[in-house]
Each structure stands twice: as structure tokens, then as C-alpha cells.
């Protein structure tokens, strides 16, 4: 219960902290099931400066995110990175997702992803593996919030414990 309170407190203070240079390393991923579309709609929020540092370190590119000089291939590099660091498994099998795009909100990039044709009645378990930025920042924490047909679960994933599972 205390863990949930800390997560909610953090989420409430996150917008306030986004106006200053941050001193912590965190991403927040929301996974919501949309029954009408039989799809998981996923948003991932990452600090722009952390993602830029990662793109420079990993791919040797200066992406210029959220600037007029943004690299035209920035989306391709972001998608490539996410596909290696953010995985979803249904009943133990890795699922493909579509990278729908991104937008900026102050100093945060929001990436939009979607998994279609979920077939929820046959879904017994959903596992999320989130290693975003853990290869660059030892202190990185990745919050994951799942909301599936009224079942809600949240995880704080770190480098040493990068998977969370919801049994349905």
C-alpha cells in the first residue's frame, strides 16, 4: 500500500518537476485496453534530454529532438530503440506493436504505440519488459501502468528487475 502511495505521489509531482532540469531518471508507460478496437493503446513518456543522450551514445546521432533542427530520421531511431527495449508478451509470446508517432510536452517526449487484434478472451497473461534507458543510466526507473477491463496494476521496473506481469 505504501508503494502505491509513493507511486501516486511521484506521478503528482512529475508535472511540477518537468519545468526544471531533472535529477532523476524515469519513464512512464501506460497500457490501456480499448474494447471497441480490441487493442492495447500504449503511451511512453521519456525525458527528451535523456533520450537524446541515449541516441547519441547508441547510434552516434544528434537528434535535435523538439527543435527546428530535429533530424528527419529521429522517429526511425526512436522506434528502433523502443523495439529493443520495450517488449510485450501475451501468454509468453512476444507481440508486435505499431509505432504511431510522438509529440512533445515541455521536456518530455510522448511516444504512441498500439497492439491490435488482442483477442482478450484468450489472453491469460500480459508481461511487460521495459529496459528503456537502463543501459545508459544506472538509476533509471520505468513505471508501467496497466489497465485492462477494470484490472489495474502498476510496476516500478529497474535494470535488475525489468519485467512485470498481469495474470488475467
Burial letters 109-125, b for 16+ CB under 10 A, else e: bebebebeebeeeebee
The reply to whether 8 falls in a domain is no
Flag whether 83 is in a domain: yes
Q: How many CB atoms lie within 10 A of CB 1?
A: 5
4 domain residue, yes or no: no
Count of the separate structural domains present in the chain? 1
Radius of gyration of the chain (CA): 16
Answer yes or no: is 5 within a domain.
no
Tell whether 122 is covered by a domain.
yes
Residue 2, pLDDT score: 53
Q: Identify the domain containing residue 42 by its residue range.
A: 23-167
Does residue 18 fall inside a structural domain? no
- Give me the residues of the chain with pLDDT under 50, please: 6, 9, 16-20
Residue 23 has a pLDDT of: 67
Can you give the pLDDT at residue 166? 86
Amino acid at each position: 500500500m505504501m508503494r502505491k502511495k509513493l507511486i501516486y505521489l511521484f506521478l503528482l509531482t512529475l508535472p511540477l518537476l518537468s519545468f526544471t532540469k531533472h535529477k532523476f531518471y524515469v519513464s512512464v508507460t501506460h497500457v490501456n485496453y480499448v474494447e471497441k478496437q480490441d487493442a492495447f493503446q500504449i503511451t511512453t513518456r521519456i525525458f527528451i534530454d535523456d533520450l537524446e543522450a541515449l541516441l547519441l551514445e547508441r547510434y552516434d546521432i544528434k537528434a535535435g529532438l523538439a527543435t527546428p533542427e530535429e533530424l528527419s530520421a529521429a522517429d526511425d531511431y526512436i522506434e528502433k530503440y523502443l523495439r529493443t527495449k520495450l517488449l510485450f508478451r501475451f501468454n509468453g509470446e512476444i507481440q508486435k506493436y505499431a509505432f504511431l508517432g510522438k509529440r512533445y510536452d515541455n521536456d518530455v517526449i510522448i511516444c504512441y504505440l498500439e497492439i491490435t487484434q488482442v483477442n482478450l478472451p484468450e489472453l491469460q497473461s500480459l508481461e511487460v519488459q521495459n529496459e528503456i534507458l537502463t543501459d545508459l543510466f544506472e538509476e533509471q526507473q520505468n513505471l508501467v501502468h496497466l489497465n485492462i477491463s477494470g484490472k489495474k496494476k502498476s510496476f516500478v521496473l529497474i535494470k535488475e528487475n525489468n519485467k512485470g506481469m498481469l495474470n488475467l
